[in-house]
Amino acid sequence: MLVRGETLLKNADKIKLVAIDLDGTLLDNDKKISPRAKEAIRSVRKEGIGVTLATGRMFYSARPYADELGLSLPLITYQGALVKVSGTGEVLYERHVDAGLSQVIVEMAKEEGLTLNFYIDDYVLVEKITSQAESYARTFNARLREVGDLSRYGHLSPLKLLVIDYDEENLDAFAERCRGIVGDDLHITKSMPEYLEFLHPQATKAFGVDAVARHMGLSPREVMAVGDSYNDVEMLDYAGISVVMGNAREEIKEKADYVTRSNDDDGVAEVLEKLVKER
């Protein structure tokens, strides 16, 4: 692992695509993109390098940031379960959770009394609009639909499911129980300490980035990935250059070729400026 201040980006001249996570990475703690980050992204694109977003957010929630930045490449959303072009709506890659497996998670969450989000058609279905659900919707600009008993939706295959528990130790224990039952059939990851996500096994950011790279005729070594959390690990392992934010946990930083500043200290801008400089 390299750290800020050391020589970095030995293959900077080969990078043709940068995939950037949103929350905890490109966005500051107020969920804003700084002017410096916007300018750094413009500079990267002027170099002929493509830029896309790779986020656990819904497409509906990610698209405004892509529009703000003027990005035209397909967006990697729902942790890689949906790769979709912002302007045209063309779907490049899509993977849904099996309907039967989704109901296993619905029932397990219900047994534990945990809040569960069920993602269909860019809406979040919830049994009841709780304070946790409302907080999630405010934070991530999500559209909620209160639908009652989610077991009535056993015929639907969601893009993902998300369980919320602010007791991380309890959530981690729940995750282990789920892995023991469906771990071979679902990708289970945490996007934040309180958010446990369940997706198709081929719905990771690595699969999403690969779909965009192939669309552009690129190989993994021509990709730089920037992230901060557990749901970024596969993408960081995939990319030719992996960059982790200073605000990330230490076990995530171990995946990095380079650790930049924190999301609230223009870490993305810093590494993009360095990418341009070292090309």
Scored b (16 or more CB within 10 A) or e, 96-109 reads bbeeebbbbbbebb
**Token match 């909620």: residue?**
144
Contact 93, 211 (CB under 8 A): yes
Annotated active-site residue 21? The verdict is yes
21, 165, 228, 266: which is the annotated catalytic residue?
21
CB neighbour list of residue 32: distance below 8 Å, 6 or more residues apart:
none
Contact 256, 236 (CB under 8 A): yes
Any idea what DSSP says for residue 239?
S
Torsion of CA 52, 58, 59, 64, to 10 degrees: -80
174 C-beta neighbours (distance < 10 Å), count: 19
Q: Which residues are catalytic?
A: 21
